[in-house]
Structure 1
Amino acid sequence: MWIAACKTEDVDADDVIGIRHDGVDYAIFRSPEDEYYATAGHCTHERELLCDGLVMDGEIECPKHLGRFNYASGAAQGAPVL
């Protein structure tokens, strides 16, 4: 299923915004190459909102315990989210 999540200009390059749809949080990313990705909105470690994290080099860093995810693949990149 596809939903309209945001406008392309709502997300800066190499950044993230949070959206909520039907009571579920999502994180929307825009890569420096203008590719867009959507992931679950919470860190798998302690459910912190990822939209409050730091985006750098294709990864999102959780703002609470600094766990990192590749936002294109969703793969965990560093503790404590391994």
Structure 2
Amino acid sequence: MNWIDICDITDIPLRGARIVKSSMGCVAVFRTTEDEVFATSDRCPHKGGPLSEGIVHGKSVTCPLHNWVFDLETGAAQGADEGQIATFATQVVDGRVLLDATNIMTALAAE
């Protein structure tokens, strides 16, 4: 894996997100109430809504445009919605959020 140090975990608001920009697009890095960290593409496949501006609840995020809900672990749309967002491996080490950049370029280019 190709780990990149993104930020301190406290730089991501609880139930919020921070954006990491790449040459292929943006990655949303989310922090849950339990201090779990997940990374996904920032773009909803429905209408392109910025998921980083969505509502984080449990291990899910709701798109701010049309309320589609995505599982932050798998990227799958929940409920009656269909779709998938790319997910990327993260880890927290000594309070620092690390993002695996190995598949970011490939996944975002495919969107």
Pick the TM interval, shorter chain. 0.7 to 0.9
State the match for 2:4 in structure 1: 3
**Structure 2 runs not aligned, ≥5 long:** 84-111
Superposition deviation, residue 56 in structure 1: 1.0
Residue 67 (structure 1) aligned with residue 68 (structure 2): yes
State the match for 1:14 in structure 2: 15
Which stretch of structure 1 is more off in the superposition, 36-45 or 10-19?
A: 10-19
- Which one has a bigger Cα radius of gyration? 2
State the match for 1:35 in structure 2: 36
Q: Which has the higher helix share?
A: 2
State the percentage of identical aligned residues.
Answer: 33
Take 2:73 and 2:14, find their aligned partners in 1: how far apart are those partners? 14
Superposition deviation, residue 6 in structure 1: 2.4
Q: Which amino acid aligns with 1:52?
A: E
Q: Indicate if the aligned counterparts of 2:54 and 2:64 stay in contact, CA closer than 8 A.
A: yes
Take 1:2 and 1:32, find their aligned partners in 2: how far apart are those partners? 24
Higher relative contact order (CA 8 A, sep 6+): 2
Q: Which amino acid aligns with 2:18?
A: I
Q: Indicate if the aligned counterparts of 2:32 and 2:56 stay in contact, CA closer than 8 A.
A: no
| Residues matched between the structures, number | 82
**Structure 1 runs not aligned, ≥5 long:** none
TM (norm. structure 2) is: 0.63
CA shift digits 1:55-78 (9 cap, x unpaired): 112210001111000112211113
Take 1:68 and 1:78, find their aligned partners in 2: how far apart are those partners? 8
Superposition deviation, residue 80 in structure 1: 4.0
